[in-house]
Amino acid sequence: MASKSSSPRLFQWLAIALLIILADQFTKLLILSSFQYGDSRTVTGFFNLVRVHNTGAAFSFLAGASGWQRWFFVLLGVASTGFIVWLLRRHGHQTVFALALSLIMGGAIGNVVDRLMHGYVVDFLQFHWGGWYFPSFNVADSAITVGALLLVWDELRRVRRG
């Protein structure tokens, strides 16, 4: 059962998610206004800014599907958000766990906004080395990845203590 102090904590975790959403959408707006689809600008010998559209999920999974994946990923994002808010209400006092969930939720919503507005996710960060290119990604993807890593780290800490 959630404690009486969970509401202020919930607000804190939702505020972090909102900051992720805003940062994600702001950076995507910059890319959309400065780059045409397929444009690439070299920043360093291993990093480019690009504009690509991902109709699939991570690493363009299902990008070649007939269009149903857009609504599938929107529904998945909405359902995940509801579940994460429920978890935050119950476990908002667990700082690392709640931070991880906030990052994941902010990233998921950031990408859902893209799917609803554009029908695809705008990716623009591209790392490469020696002819090998890591799939392009964005701020939302970064938040989801950091959140997932924090979840693993938090669970490993919990197992060691227990």
SS3 content of the chain, % helix, strand, coil (to 5): 65, 15, 20
Q: What angle do CA 14, 49, 42 make, to 5 degrees?
A: 150
User: H helices within 45-162, ranges in order?
Assistant: 68-91, 95-118, 139-161
Annotated catalytic residue 141:
yes
Tell me the two tokens of residue 30.
Answer: 């910059």
Q: Give per-residue pLDDT as tens, 14-44.
A: 999 999 999 999 999 999 999 999 999 999 9
Measured in residues, the chain has a length of 162
Is 50 exceeded by the pLDDT of residue 2? no
Residue 60 pLDDT level (bands cut at 50, 70, 90)? low
Closest residue by Cα to residue 56 from 44, 47, 64: 64
The answer to whether the pTM exceeds 0.95 is no
Relative orientation angle of helices 6-34 and 139-161, to the nearest 10 degrees: 150
Of 24, 114, 123, 154, the active-site residue reads 123
Of 24, 39, 141, 154, the active-site residue reads 141
Between residues 71 and 125, the one the model is more confident about: 125
Annotated catalytic residue 123:
yes
The residue ranges of every structural domain in the chain are 91-162
Residue 1 pLDDT level (bands cut at 50, 70, 90)? very low
Residue 71's pLDDT is: 81
CA distance 157 to 151: 10
pLDDT averaged over every residue in the chain: 90
Strand 47-54 to strand 121-129: parallel, antiparallel, or no bridges (unpaired)? Answer: antiparallel
CA dist list (Å): 44 to 30, 125, 127: 19, 12, 9
